[in-house]
Amino acid sequence: MAHTHSSRRSTMWARNVVSVLAFFALALALPSQNCEHKVKETIVPPRGWTIFGSAPPDHLIKLRIGLPQSNFDLLEEHLYAISDPYHDRYGAHLTTKEIHELVAPHPDSVGAVENWLASHGIADNDITRSSAGDWLTVTLPVNLVEKMLDTKYHIWHKNGEYIVRTTSYSLPKNVHDHVELVQPTTMFGTFKKLKSTIHSVSPITSQAESQKSQPFFDSTTGLTVDASCNTTITITCLQQIYNAVGYTPSANVGNSIGIAAYLEDFANRADLQTFFEDQVPAAAAANATFQFISVKDGLDSQDPDQAGAESALDTQFAFGLTFPVASTFFSTGGRPPFIPSVGTPTDTNEPYTDWLDFVLSHPNPPLSISTSYGDEEQTVPESFAKRACSEFAQLGARGVSLMFSSGDGGVGDGDPDPETTECITNDGLNRTQFIPGFPASCPFVTAVGGTILFPEQGVDFSGGGFSNYFERPSYQDAAVQAFLDKLAPGTYSGLFNPNGRAFPDVSAQSDFFRIFIAGQPFHIGGTSASSPAFAGFVALLNDARLRKGLPSLGFLNPLFYSKAAAGFNDITVGNNPGCGTPGFNATEGWDAVTGLGT
């Protein structure tokens, strides 16, 4: 195997050299490009990243060029109309064709960018286009990209990771307004997993499971919940806490649920079967499993010793809650490690955009999708965050509900000790500030925070706060302003943006989830547990609607903040410390710990 792998690397290396030489020769044969450039974007490198050295000139970059979406404002109008339960168009989701027509770039932009690429020897068949034509992708050597963008790439280093990036790039003046962004350039975000710790690495013993007290009755909700749910969360616990006992969805109404995973994480099918045997006997009897979709070489080795805890948690609870609804697991290939001393491996694009490319072109994406990955908003360039957010809007317009974990750092780093706080801005001013997370801060997704125990209270790691990139959307104006009005004057002044999009929107249980890894039960927690759990209940709601011939819920937030607000359990206990502060408090109505509630 090692010899075969070496041969493949040699073949790929030879092809890359030929490709680089061809580009170089063609560039020499073309007229010199003396077009005056104008700066498109400049950033301060995020804290912790340092220059390791210059990028090798023949290092290949998969360059993605985002063209302005010509009528996104109209798409946004459509989205809010079809997501407003009081609008006569509620639920009238758009088709893929209709969305593509709204986001397709203007022909002038297409022509200007194609001419610019051609002037550098890039032929039309070298370019890959997104389904709407709003992204152009081409693989090029660093030396050519540096010339095109009038920039200099370096190898950047942080905690054993190496990436090839720049902190500023420019475009010819005649192209400048026809390009929204170019990546990978200034994108240093790593899109990491959002989970806290596995609370027990020892098998949960049957003896411990048998020590149960009498069920607990909550007079506020009128629900009866097993006392064991205060120490271990199971499918039964979630059904009891959220009033879904005895509800069995249909497999025949076109319903679906999906989990998106990254960074080489994959779900083990044998562990899912063990989980079903433990908690969903009907699914075990049916030998139920999920459809696996690999995006850009996403892994599915099924080696039990390599299976991810994140994917185990996501699939076991999301699919356990919704059996027999059609379930899909997306595994998107991650950025391979760049090792400066070993050849010049291709520096792939951020995996998140690869998944978005794929799902936006998918003819029938799952109607409820959960993602437990994200990053600090400030590590993601604002241009990239806003473009990705606009693509979430496209999915919402198609009738897809998107859930994202709100994060596990409270209002920032999750540490109330001011001596160890990491809540420092990346703008070069090194200001102390609460750190919102992305994509939770995007107004077109539903951010899910965390609760614990029963009766429920906000868990201390529940990510919450206010975006510095996105303005507060109108659908949450009243709820969020009521929360801000309750704060004492001057509370956390300068530490957050009171006019920003507020999150989380909702919350769910987020700790002591009983999952199986390599055949053994574990406890695990984080908002990475609450997001797939909430997505499961959204799928159950979709089932109820589809059975009646109604469309799926789609983009949830306008419904949640209006007509459906009364359907939530308001959480009024708890806080989310961080950045040397106690964080925000859970309170009556919306709050920045648990959102509207559970």
Active site residue 314: yes
Place of tokens 């003046």: 173
Beta bridge partners of 152: none
Q: Which residues of 387-405 are buried (b: 16+ CB within 10 A; e: fewer)?
A: bbbbbbbbbbbbbbbbbbb
The beta strand positions in 55-141, using DSSP E, are 60-66, 128-129, 135-141
CA angle 527, 408, 223 (to 5 degrees): 35
Instruction: Tokens for 543, please give them.
Output: 């089932």
Q: Three-state DSSP class for 60?
A: strand
43, 427 Cβ separation under 8 angstroms: no
φ and ψ at 143, to 5 degrees? -60, -35
Query: What backbone torsions phi and psi does residue 300 show, to the nearest 5 degrees?
Result: -155, 55
Are residues 359 and 380 in contact, defined by beta-carbon separation less than 8 angstroms?
Answer: no
Tokens of 435: 């750190």
Is 487 within 8 Å of 423 (Cβ atoms)?
no
CB 414 within 8 A of CB 471: no
Q: What share of the chain is helix, strand, coil (3-state, %, to 5)?
A: 30, 20, 45
- Say which of 405, 507, 510, 528 is annotated catalytic: 528
- What Cα–Cα distance (Å) separates residue 362 from each residue in 68, 130, 131, 366? 22, 12, 9, 9
Q: Rounded distance, CA 465 to CA 68, Å? A: 29
Residues 52/155, Cβ–Cβ less than 8 Å? yes
Establish how many alpha carbons lie within 13 A of residue 93's alpha carbon, considering only the half-sphere containing its beta carbon.
Answer: 20
- The helix/strand/coil state of 42 is strand
Selecting among 84, 314, 375, 460, the annotated active-site residue is 314
Sheet with 60-66: list strands edge to edge. 128-129, 135-141, 60-66, 181-183
Q: Is 589 among the annotated ligand-binding positions?
A: yes
For residue 149, the SS3 value is: helix
73 is in an annotated binding site: no
Question: 140 CB contacts (<8 Å, ≥6 apart)?
Answer: 23, 60, 61, 63, 122, 148
437 is in an annotated binding site: no
| Catalytic site includes residue 114 | no
Q: How far is it, in rounded angstroms, from Cα 384 to Cα 404?
A: 17
From 180, 226, 265, 310, active-site residue: 310
**Is 294 noted as a catalytic residue in this protein?**
no
233 annotated binding-site participant: no
Q: Dig out the tokens for 121 from the structure.
A: 């020897």
Residue pair 263/192 in contact (Cβ under 8 Å)? The answer is yes
Nearest to 432 by CA among 424, 440, 443: 424
| Count of other CB atoms within 10 angstroms of residue 504 | 34
Element at 54 (helix H, strand E): strand 50-54
Annotated binding site: 570-571, 589, 591
Annotated binding site for Ca(2+): 570-571, 589, 591
Which positions are annotated as active-site residues?
A: 310, 314, 528
